[in-house]
Structure 1
Amino acid sequence: MIIRRGRRAAFFDVRHNLLSAGSALTVLEAAAHHRSAGDLLVCVAGGPSPGVPAARPAVGRPTVSGAGLAADLVLYTDAPDEAGSEVVVEAMARLGLDPAQCFAYGDHREGLTILRVVGNPRVVGRDPLMTELARDCGWPILHTARY
């Protein structure tokens, strides 16, 4: 696989509360920044309905979780933890993306595997475990509104 230099993607782990009322604005602002930079927007979601493939291109930039995050691609995983990183790694390989140039956004410990496979992880929210890990690893923390 040839890696396309300069082509990036932003992976949003929407399996938990990433698009909740408290964090939606922060996440949508990050997505808008990536969209304006020409980055591919990818959502990692929970398992699809029976018969839906594990990864499928989005048609007409569908809205994910009803919060207005228009994804170019939606990756489905039905298992927590390692399965999330596996679909992200596979997508980066198939799309010829350089993992060091990609971003990931997560707010829950099950998303840590996704954050660890990209060069630009971002922790969203105020989860104590996630913010402590982000500080230890030197990852940016995107703070959200308290509700």
Structure 2
Amino acid sequence: MINQRGRRAAFFDVRHNLLSAGSALTVLEAAARHRSAGDLLVCVAGGPPPGDGTDRPAAGRPTTSGTGFAADLVLYADAPDEAGSEVVVEAMARLGLDAAQCFAYGDHREGLTILRVVGNPRVVGRDPLMTELARDRGWPVLHTAQY
């Protein structure tokens, strides 16, 4: 285990459209705030993992689809349901992070599993199901531009 005591992480679920044209600016602003605070930036991507389920290139930070989003770590969750929360919970445990201090950003129902395992969930966008769930749970909603 890598000791990250006192360090926080922000998990961005990019398996759907989190970095689409309408929400990219909102997400990049949130990522910049986390980067300034010294938080780890973690992308949760879809598809099979390239090896151990994480992507840590030797030089530089992995970026997501030319958006300029530079993550410290990329986690891969192949299945849309519980796999997302499993990789996030495992990463928090391996990194010694307190879930109550971590953040998660999601814009689609697949992201709910990730939002539920951190202390600071954030819904991004205008999906009616997601905004209703956020309202019911008292989660902040980051509204995005409509395109």
CA contact (8 A) 1:104 1:120 kept: yes
Q: Deviations over 1:77-115 (max 9, x none)?
A: 111010000000000000000000000000000110000
Q: Deviations over 1:52-94 (max 9, x none)?
A: 3312324411211221110000001111010000000000000
Residue of structure 1 in register with 2:92 after alignment: 92
Deviation at 1:3, TM superposition (A): 7.1
Residue of structure 1 in register with 2:45 after alignment: 45
Give the whole-Å Cα distance in 2 for the aligned partners of 1:58 and 1:44: 16
Which region of structure 1 is more displaced relative to structure 2, 121-130 or 39-48? 39-48
Give the whole-Å Cα distance in 2 for the aligned partners of 1:64 and 1:52: 18
Residue of structure 2 in register with 1:138 after alignment: 138
CA contact (8 A) 2:19 2:27 kept: yes
Pairwise CA RMSD of aligned residues?
1.6
Residue of structure 1 in register with 2:55 after alignment: 56
Q: For 1:78, give the aligned amino acid.
A: D
State TM-score, norm by structure 2. 0.94
- Equivalent residues, number: 146
What is the percent sequence identity of the aligned residues? 86
State TM-score, norm by structure 1. 0.94
Residue of structure 1 in register with 2:18 after alignment: 18
Q: For 1:74, give the aligned amino acid.
A: V
Structure 1 consecutive aligned stretches of length 4 or more whose deviation exceeds 3 Å:
1-5
CA contact (8 A) 1:58 1:74 kept: no
**Gapped regions of structure 2 (runs ≥ 5):** none
